[in-house]
Structure 1
């Protein structure tokens, strides 16, 4: 079987106290909606690579999400 792949960067904007505060509901809703649409199109999440924003202190605010699905012949 052959597969096709897709990458997507999802971001939660940095704000003071990010690690002590729950992300805003609308931020999570946007991410949920994007992931749901990909799932509806047959994409399966197979990996996540988080990276820091380079701030001080550095915080993870973005992540590359890797998806795959069977390639249609």
Structure 2
């Protein structure tokens, strides 16, 4: 009985830690996005800022999609 409880607690702790790390990466990515857009606007103007924002988002969504597909892939 104690072994089942221990394994259940460890499984939940693993899920929570993965959620917190994923949330932390998301917050860091949003801060990086804001800093990049602000820096590009201050240094190069609005059009370069818009282009840089689109490139950043394209790469971010590529890696989000890659992570999502790999984490939900069925291994046989």
TM-score between both structures, scaled by the size of structure 2: 0.36
Determine which structure has greater relative contact order: mean sequence separation of CA pairs < 8 Å that are 6+ residues apart, divided by chain length. 1
Structure showing greater radius of gyration is: 2
TM-score between both structures, scaled by the size of structure 1: 0.37
